[in-house]
Amino acid sequence: MAQSCNRQYTYDVIVIGAGHAGCEAALAAARMGAETAIFSMNLDSVANMPCNPNIGGTAKGHLVREIDALGGEMGKCADKTLIQSRMLNTAKGPAVFSLRAQIDRRSYQREMKHTLELQENLDLIQAEIVEILAENNRITGVRSHLGTVYKAKTVILTTGTYLKGRIVVGDVVYSGGPDGLLPANRLSDSLKKFGIELLRFKTGTPARINRRSIDFSKMEVQHGDNTIIPFSFEHETIDREQAPCYLTYTTEQTHSIIRENLHRSPLYGGIIEGIGPRYCPSIEDKIVRFADKERHQVFVEPMGLDTEEYYLQGFSTSMPEDVQIKMIRSLPGLENARIMRYAYAIEYDCINPLDLKLSLEFKSIEGLFSAGQINGSSGYEEAAAQGLIAGINAVLKIKGEQPLILDRSEAYIGVLIDDLVTKGTNEPYRMMTSRAEYRLHLRQDNADARLTPIGYKIGLINEDRYKKFLMKQQSISKEIERLKSKTVPPSDKINKFLEKHASSQIITGIRLYDLLKRPEITYEALREIDDVMPDLPRSFAEQVSVSIKYEGYIAKQLQQIEQFKKMEQKIIPEDMDYNKISGLRIEARQKLSRQRPASVGQASRISGVSPADISVLLIYLNARWKRGGKQ
Amino acid sequence: MNGLLSDTIGAISTAVGNAGISIIRLSGPEAFSVAAKIFRGKGSFYEYPSHTIHYGKIVDPDKNDVIDEVLISKMAAPRTYTHEDTVEINCHGGYVTASRILDLLYRNGIRPAEPGEFTKRAFLNGRIDLAQAEAVMDLIGSRTEKSSKVAVSQLEGRLSEKIDKLRRQLVDMLASIEVNLDYPEYDFEEVTADNCALKIRSVYDELKDLIEGFDYGKILREGMEVAIIGKPNAGKSSLLNRLSGKNRAIVTEIPGTTRDILEEYVNILGMPIKLIDTAGLRETENEVEKIGVSKAIEVMDSSDLILFILDANSGFEQEDADILEKIRKYHEKTIYVVNKTDKKDEDKLNEIKEKIPEVLEISVLEDSGINVLEKEIYKFVNKSNFDTDNQVLVTNARHKKHLQQSLADLERALYAINDGMTMDVVSIDIKSAAENLGYITGHEVSEEIVSSIFERFCIGK
């Protein structure tokens, strides 16, 4: 039994914070059999989306797929609560196909909270954790605001933007968490006491408008896709009526209101000190930095089905209330807008991710893990991905097993964590497909092929799902083989088919496989000339098609991955004394000593470590391996 | 502990020759302590401020022998070429004195420096970037004035600048492509395939020029290879000796004396030339000579220029006909020369002229026609009309390799566009091309693309 009555509780894993990182961490830990507790300051804010209630988008959609392939929850929960779904980039290639869904925020929260409540081995507890407890650089537990001590073998920090949260609206500044919630003011000091460096980041959230005051006729309407493609590999179809989103634009009037009131913006007035992300500047930032752009897009999106609140994406600001009203009312369709929640900027404490191992455990405190926005990332999906990995690794740690580390060639999750932990970040880090070197391999359609065997091995994918997965892989390769072996003759029927699809005609027989390689011929179209084509589910067909059409490029990328892995597999001993390697430049020596990379590959990605330093390091390691007689 | 950079190296850093002064340079952690041990001057060497020069004597501490009067300079890290403690000893010229001092240093814990090792250290210590380091290596190796001009311009970063410019063009293109892939909901101008192909082609052309310059750059650095071919005793070795100004090859009246390949670097009108003297080409039973002959054929194939030497005294013989047959396919890179015009037989010479009208008449013995031959060789090297003063030349094989890979990447990108591939695929090859250029100058492309997206495009929450 985890709980006893002497105000002393003992858990395997304690998760501090029940946002997107915390929920995945807690569910993974509990599902792997660990006695787990997850704490939230307010149980009504579990899995909250204080910003835009949408999940997915480019690279983020990939993350959700990967979370699902490993046995995480976000994709399933999103599928159950989405109110609009679109596959983005369909014309731009399979590497960047990205699912994006508008979510009913409250339904998502209810769904996720209920999932936590129903989970075996998991306690969901409302309390503010104000202190972490450690002895001899090893975590021992946490203390709540009521003074209760919860002992734990491992602790995961998933505090989001709550630590010393500070809200800024114009010249009004107050201590607060996101979405009108309370901040967590005491935990920061406890972390500092253990020598953990804290950075100060900033982000912002736009205003919410009452639908009744919006004139949608002046806006462009954006509908969802006809067929909803689910995030989760466990869902084949979703049949649901979808809600539309809208698009409007800033006007010359908007721009002049902002320019006239710039002096009242805390960003320009110096009130905000935290580092905001380059990719999500406030609207006043955009007007100043891109002065020649005539208009900016503003997306008007529903917060849910049982609410009239609409979110203004692309219009985040920290201007004072009176300016906000003027700005918003200068947008076509929003002339009579009634604001329900004003936009605000929030500053918060986060840790320096360079202090973490690739397992997301702190280098300096054993058993203490950290995931999500506290690690300097941005976004629900980035947070959930880290939470899942931290949860898994907390349990593996207890079991005395090697941590799960996905590398840059295996998953976006690997790219995300490696970037944070190896390169650090000086702004909230957002996932982008251009950050992934092996993008054509890290597709959203094959996330299951890449990761489900791993999820199965660690125990988050059950036998039933794994069997289905294996069958899927089998029928995909069987179908590829079939297309390779079936040749069609240069008949009238075939050439008419080719003509219809604007494809060059054939004079000798050709394999269906080779026809499919032609960009203008789709897998579905082949059905017209292939009377024995099996009726594969959409997700199967997608993988068949992509594997064949992009075969050459994928093969090349796999070769590069092999090269990449060689350096990743050159492990650097944990006790490495870089000061003994006199060939290293001082800067490299300091960086390497501080970050203690796990492999030569990781070392090569540390900023300030040059290719010359890497060759010196390799020479040194080779000599050491030779002397030690082993690699 | 491995020895890398932990020891102190020393070498004579001036050219070996009849200079008035030789400079011996030491670099590494022991430079000061060893210098202090062998230098006797006013006050303690340890107390000299950095970057000062002092007069004194070099003394062998074991025997108390004075070896030479010297000027010694002391330069403390990091403001030195190698970023290490450095000592320079200016001693009296001549090989003997300098090597006695060097010998003394080696006995006191200094390790002989390998060629280019000071520069290697400068690079490893972060003093200069890779392209600069390699240019210095070339500078060390370059043999004539013109080569060093190319080497110096690379050192000043002209190559880096040029490659940087091309890399930035690719990065800009990538940012425009990527922003559309990563932010599809925003209304940025789409990069069309045609537009993309146009831009790629422009970078492609410039890269191609750079690579074509490499062969010329290699000639400037390593010297053009010129093979001297001809029947035995036509005067090949005499010509080599004449051009190199040395009595290197054994010259006898017995045909076939030069049995192996002889190489000599010579300077022809400011161009470094590697002359290769081959065994006389003739069918032979002699085993040693056979090896020489087959090598000669190999050399003909690989050399940049062939000098076919005929004999004005013996005329056009069967052996010449055989060689002419073999050489026909190299006609474009052959200069025909008839030697021994001092002993010429008019009829025999006409016989040769009939077969080869453009033959150049020379006499090594009388030193006639040699200037004309040198000019011909020079003209041949320069026929590509390179102007070394304004041209950026690639002289380093590693650079060439990356340039070539980058070129191949761009070719693939163009191919993919032509093939109707989607932009997520096209961008892979463009990115790889940019990365290959980044390897030369040491830039990380991925982060550059992300930064460029945020700088140029307005993306917001």
Cβ of A619 within 8 Å of Cβ of B425? The answer is: no
Other CB atoms closer than 10 Å to residue A79's CB: what's the count?
23
- A290, A316, A435 member nearest B461 (Cβ): A316
Q: Is the pLDDT of residue B94 over 80?
A: no
- The whole-angstrom distance between A290's CA and the closest CA on chain B is 7
Q: For residue B460, which residues of chain A lie inside 8 Å, CB to CB?
A: 279-283, 285-286, 296, 314-316
- The whole-angstrom distance between A203's CA and the closest CA on chain B is 9
Q: Is the pLDDT of residue B112 over 90?
A: no
Q: Which two tokens stand for residue B203?
A: 């970078």
- DSSP string for residues in A190-206: HHHHTT--EEEEEEEE-
pLDDT in tens, B352-373: 888 888 899 999 888 888 888 8
Half-sphere exposure of A389 (CA within 13 A, CB side): 30
Q: Is the pLDDT of residue B139 over 90?
A: no
- Mapped onto helix, strand or coil, the DSSP state of residue A343 is coil
pLDDT of B17: 46
- The whole-angstrom distance between A93's CA and the closest CA on chain B is 5
- B181, B185, B453 member nearest A92 (Cβ): B181
Paired residues of B226 in beta bridges: B275, B305
Q: Which residue, among A96, A293, A420, would best test binding to B if mutated, counting the most B CBs under 10 Å from its CB?
A: A96
A-to-B residue pairs, Cβ atoms closer than 8 angstroms: 134
Cβ of A279 within 8 Å of Cβ of B446? The answer is: no
Residue A9 φ then ψ, to 5°: -120, 150
| Preceding peptide of B78 cis, ω within 30° | yes
Higher pLDDT among residues B258 and B68, named by residue: B68
- The whole-angstrom distance between B418's CA and the closest CA on chain A is 11
Q: Is the pLDDT of residue B344 over 90?
A: no
What average pLDDT score do residues B256-270 get? 60
What contacts A228, CB < 8 A, 6 or more positions away?
A82, A85, A237, A238, A239, A240, A242
Closest CA to B374 of B241, B225, B267, B238: B267
Closest chain B residue to A311 measured between Cα atoms?
B461
- Give the DSSP H/E element, type plus range, for residue B263: strand B262-268
Closest CA to B310 of B286, B290, B327: B327
pLDDT in tens, B433-442: 999 998 877 7
Q: Which two tokens stand for residue B407?
A: 């070129």
pLDDT of B255: 46
Q: For residue A519, which residues of chain B lie inside 8 Å, CB to CB?
A: 419-421
Q: Is the pLDDT of residue B146 over 60?
A: no
pLDDT of B202: 94
Give the Cα separation of A204 and B341 in Å (integer). 92
Higher pLDDT among residues A59 and B193, named by residue: A59
Q: Is the pLDDT of residue B20 over 70?
A: no
Give the Cα separation of A27 and A460 in Å (integer). 10
pLDDT of B155: 46
Summary mean pLDDT of chain B = 78
Give the Cα separation of B435 and B426 in Å (integer). 15
| CA-to-CA separations, A326 to A51, A215, A237, A246, in angstroms, rounded | 22, 16, 44, 20
Q: Is B379 exposed, middle or buried (0-12, 13-18, 19+ CB in 10 A)?
A: exposed
- B5, B449, B450 member nearest A582 (Cβ): B5
Q: For residue A281, which residues of chain B lie inside 8 Å, CB to CB?
A: 458-460
- The whole-angstrom distance between A117's CA and the closest CA on chain B is 33
Quick check: B191 and B423 in contact, CB under 8 A?
A: yes
- A434, A520, A550 member nearest B178 (Cβ): A434
pLDDT of B102: 82
Q: What is the band of B83 on the pLDDT scale with cuts at 50, 70, 90?
A: confident
Q: For residue B446, which residues of chain A lie inside 8 Å, CB to CB?
A: 434-435, 437
What contacts A609, CB < 8 A, 6 or more positions away?
A588, A591, A592, A603
Q: For residue A433, which residues of chain B lie inside 8 Å, CB to CB?
A: 178, 181-182, 424
- The whole-angstrom distance between A298's CA and the closest CA on chain B is 9
Q: For residue B420, which residues of chain A lie inside 8 Å, CB to CB?
A: 519-520
Q: Is B421 at the interface with chain A, CB within 8 A?
A: yes
| CA-to-CA separations, A43 to A19, A122, A178, A187, A486, in angstroms, rounded | 10, 14, 14, 18, 59
- The whole-angstrom distance between B203's CA and the closest CA on chain A is 22
Closest chain B residue to A294 measured between Cα atoms?
B458
Q: Which residue, among B174, B182, B191, B402, would best test binding to A if mutated, counting the most A CBs under 10 Å from its CB?
A: B182
Q: What b/e sequence results for B45-58 when a residue is b if at least 16 CB atoms lie within 10 Å of its CB, and e otherwise? A: beebeeeeeeebeb
Q: Collect the ranges in chain A with pLDDT lower than 70.
A: 1-8, 268-280, 582, 612, 623, 626-631
pLDDT of A7: 52
Closest CA to A212 of A37, A381, A304, A337: A337
Q: Which two tokens stand for residue A112?
A: 């996720």
- A58, A519, A580 member nearest B419 (Cβ): A519
Closest chain B residue to A580 measured between Cα atoms?
B1
- Mapped onto helix, strand or coil, the DSSP state of residue A385 is helix
Higher pLDDT among residues B231 and A433, named by residue: A433
Q: What is the DSSP letter of B188?
A: P
Q: For residue A96, which residues of chain B lie inside 8 Å, CB to CB?
A: 181-182, 424
Q: What is the band of B5 on the pLDDT scale with cuts at 50, 70, 90?
A: low
Strand B86-92 relative to strand A138-144: parallel, antiparallel, unpaired? unpaired
Cβ of B421 within 8 Å of Cβ of A519? The answer is: yes
Give the Cα separation of B330 and B315 in Å (integer). 22
pLDDT in tens, A221-251: 999 999 999 999 999 899 999 999 999 999 9
Q: For residue B421, which residues of chain A lie inside 8 Å, CB to CB?
A: 93, 519, 553
What average pLDDT score do residues B107-135 get? 70
Distance, first Cα to last Cα, chain A: 45
What contacts A279, CB < 8 A, 6 or more positions away?
A430, B453, B454, B459, B460
Q: What is the DSSP letter of B347?
A: H
**pTM given for the model:** 0.74
Q: For residue B422, which residues of chain A lie inside 8 Å, CB to CB?
A: 91-94
Quick check: B86 and B80 in contact, CB under 8 A?
A: yes
Give the Cα separation of A24 and B459 in Å (integer). 29
Quick check: A336 and A240 in contact, CB under 8 A?
A: no
Q: For residue B126, which residues of chain A lie inside 8 Å, CB to CB?
A: 585, 587, 610, 612
Cβ of A283 within 8 Å of Cβ of B460? The answer is: yes
Closest CA to B25 of B45, B8, B40: B8
Give the Cα separation of B430 and A550 in Å (integer). 17
Strand B52-60 relative to strand B65-75: parallel, antiparallel, unpaired? antiparallel
Q: For residue B442, which residues of chain A lie inside 8 Å, CB to CB?
A: 610-611
Paired residues of B295 in beta bridges: none
